[in-house]
Structure 1
Amino acid sequence: MAKPLALTSGEPAGIGPDITLKAWLRRDELNLPAFYWLGDAASLQRRANQLGLNIKIAEMRPEEAGDVFAEALPVVPTGHAATARPGHPDDSSAGAAMASIRQAVADVTAGRAGAVVTNPIAKNVLYRAGFRHPGHTEYLAELAATNNSTPQPVMMLWSPTLAVVPVTIHVSVREALAQLSSELIVTTARIVVAGLKSHFDIARPRLAVSGLNPHAGEDGSLGTEEQTIVAPAVDMLRKEGFDVRGPVPADTMFHEAARQTYDCAICMYHDQALIPIKTLAFEEAVNVTLGLPFIRTSPDHGTAFDIAGTGKANPASLIAALRLAARMAETKPA
């Protein structure tokens, strides 16, 4: 039997509990992989009651989750109570969310889980509690660090329609410009190619690298970063044998015909990558972190405080994240 997936609680006041409960209810219909939820069983039971869902929730060890998944939603306690009401984070929220992430990483590292799947967090809530990372991606890299090195995490948004990677991630546009370099583009692309080969069965991944400026700089008249940063990176990657082209104007990269010419679009900053995929595949897109020594996926949406506890939350992206995590766990490591 495959190892169960470790599913974090996410922000307890958000829709993470809602979509977890809804996903488990569809386990037979969709033949979902076994997973367990890391968090406070009492808070999950309260949410189930509020949603009017008759669900058996059972506390247990990770190793037992697969045996009971068909009959009960397995919960592995983290020792942190979560008292927040739907839509209203409180003082327990940050500690509960972070403990869940830490335990999920510990479980997959120790071999108790096959992959980590994370429910959405509220970064502003974590920041108030002293969280010092821009987001999930960077925190997971720290948790995966060894005495020798900290891995470079690469955030890929994947769907059957489109896969995108932002070279700079959770930073302001001003900071993205400061961080962008040929070296960062090259190391990001290497990690993407390794991940696509190992986990997505693409023997020779095709990459399209976007420009930074409008019309890819218009031969320097709208900016020179394409000439000084992006084009040199593309040249280096080609010399290493990668199938890569660019800099490509970002405004012509994402129509249907263009998408058929590459397996992943490498973009220069967060919104340049995420706007097209969230427009084309909002409910089926999955956030995948490449470059870590374990598999991590996540729904591609936020905490949605405004609909938490109302029954309106759609579990489609979480279901896609669970399925993709199980699929990736069956492949050889990147």
Structure 2
Amino acid sequence: MTPLAKPGMKPLLITQGDACGIGPEVAVAAWAAEQAPPGAPPLCLVGDLAVWRRALRLAGLDFPTALLDDPSQAAHVPARCLPVWQPSGMAPGLVEEPLGQISARAGAAAARCIEAAVAAIQSGQGGGLVTAPIHKEALHAAGVPFPGHTEMLQALATPAGGSAPPVRMMLANEELRTVLVTIHVSLRQAIEQVTTAAVLQTLRITQDSLRRFGIRMPRIAVAGLNPHAGEGGLFGDEELREIIPAIEAARAEGIDAQGPFPPDTVFMRARHAPPHHPGAFDVVVAMTHDHGLIPVKYLGVEQGVNVTLGLPFVRTSPDHGTAFDIVGRGLADASSMRAALRMAWQLCSD
């Protein structure tokens, strides 16, 4: 929970995600449980006021709410009062949508919160973004033309008439970090998107982004695409044609990229679990979504944080979805949302 912050500090914005899922309740639980470090920005929760009030009840919390005219007012809200900014364009009666079910209205509201939060950051009223989980089917039902947060944020960060910023998804916990070359596409499309240019761009983004984490020269392991990293072309030649040339080009630029390594063992080498197992690498670059995310999630979803690299602002989120099956039952674990909040504070303070 953020103590009364200095006026003028740009708040960290927490979007409600899908109102029918666990996002709102884990967000308020994280807000209540976390103590902001010195100098950290205040928090502002973005979404429907009635949804946030219900989330407090579902999380077993008894706090008043403050409805803000704009996010910049969050710095003036007392510590034990939930600061809520409800953007314009939110459909009325959202809290009446059934919990645990796909809702086009909830999908539209989730998208509107993201759009408004990014616009607030771009206008100087916010300093960073923590996003609660959205439901991709609800977004689709609402006619939102993006498969997930990453693609939507990339589009919102694109200047009018300009080029979209190259972004990448990183999933991280205290033991392992992994960055993805491809994200929310079919496996067939992902293989086609593993090109020298895409891998090299990922290595550059990874190098630049990890410096914000205080790692001056990141040790980057590159996972292969094929079994045994292709075994010299016996099991596929993408490593020879696309991945190795990208690694060589990155090394020529001074990036400490190594590999490609077999994807079934490189994550064990990179895992940092002191004192008996210091990681051999600071991050693993993986070619596809599941190659990269399964190892991090296996170590514990409750501590995983999703970070979008390459955006002109900080964005983190918890490493789980809407969990329709447990919403409202008092079973939602806010650990990952708390970790996402802590990481956002860290990145916004650096």
TM-score by length of 1: 0.94
Measured after TM superposition, the shift of residue 265 of structure 1 is 0.2
Q: 1:72 aligns with which of 66, 69, 81?
A: 81
Separation in 1 of the partners of 2:60 and 2:43?
22
Report the Cα distance in structure 1 between the residues aligned to 2:317 and 2:188, rounded to whole angstroms: 27
1:116 aligns with 2:129: yes
Aligned to 2:344: 325
Aligned equivalent of 1:57, options 61, 65, 75: 65
Alignment gaps of 5+ in structure 2:
1-5, 273-278
* Count of paired positions: 330
Distance 1:89 1:180, change over 3 A: same
Q: After superposition, where does 1:230-309 map in structure 2 within 5 Å? A: 230-255=243-268, 260-309=279-328
Deviation per residue, 1:144-190 (Å, 9 max, x gap):
00122111111111222111011000111111011110100001110
- Farther off after superposition, 52-61 or 72-81: 52-61
User: For structure 1, which segment, 284-293 or 83-92, has the greater mean C-alpha deviation from structure 2 after superposition?
Assistant: 83-92
Summarize deviations over 1:24-62 as a string: whole Å, max 9, x none: 221449988631111110122133334543121111131
Structure-2 change in CA distance of 1:41 and 1:241 (3 Å): same
In the alignment, which residue of structure 1 is the partner of 2:207?
A: 193
- The residue that corresponds to 2:192 in the other structure is 178
Query: Which residue does 2:276 correspond to in 1?
Result: none
- The one-letter code of the counterpart of 1:14 is G
Secondary structure in structure 1 of the residue aligned to 2:52: helix
CA contact (8 A) 1:252 1:258 kept: no
Amino acid at match of 1:239: A
Query: Which sections of structure 1, spanning at least 5 residues, go unmatched?
Result: none
1:225-277 superposed Cα distances (whole Å, 9 cap, x missing partner): 11111111111111111111111001111225665111110001000000000
Alignment check: 8 A CA contact 1:22 1:315 kept: yes
Give identity over the alignment, percent.
43
* 2:252 maps to amino acid: K
Q: Structure 1: how far apart are the matches of 2:102 and 2:270? A: 44
Listed one character per residue, the Cα deviations across residues 289-325 of structure 1 (whole Å, up to 9, x for unaligned) are 1111111111111000011111111111111111111
1:134 aligns to what?
A: 147
Residues 258, 58 of structure 1: alpha-carbon distance in 2 compared, 3 angstrom cutoff: closer
1:207 to 211, 216, 220: 220
Deviation at 1:63, TM superposition (A): 1.5
Cross-structure match for 1:104: 117
Shift >4 Å, 4+ stretches: 28-33, 256-259
> Which AA in structure 1 matches 2:147?
P
| More off after superposition, 321-330 vs 257-266 | 257-266
Quick check: 1:18–1:311 contact (8 Å CA) kept in 2? no
User: Contact 1:87 / 1:305 at 8 angstroms: preserved in 2?
Assistant: yes
TM-score by length of 2: 0.90
Choose from 11, 19, 23 the match for 2:18: 11
- Residue 172 and residue 72 in structure 1: after superposition, are their counterparts in 2 closer, same or farther (change >3 A)? same
Cα deviations across residues 69-116 of structure 1 (Å, max 9, x unaligned)? Answer: 512110001131323232124342122101100111011112211101
1:44 to 37, 52, 58: 52
Amino acid at match of 1:16: G
Inter-partner Cα distance in structure 2 for 1:255 and 1:301: 22
Tell me how large the CA RMSD over aligned residues is.
Answer: 1.8
Counterpart-to-counterpart distance in 2, 1:312 and 1:265: 32
Are the structure 2 counterparts of residues 293 and 50 from structure 1 closer, same or farther at C-alpha, using a change threshold of 3 Å? closer
- 8 Å contact from structure 1 (residues 211, 230) kept in 2: yes
**Counterpart of 1:225?**
238
1:2-39 CA distance string (max 9 Å, x none): 42210101000000111012112214499886311111
Match of residue 93 from structure 1: 106
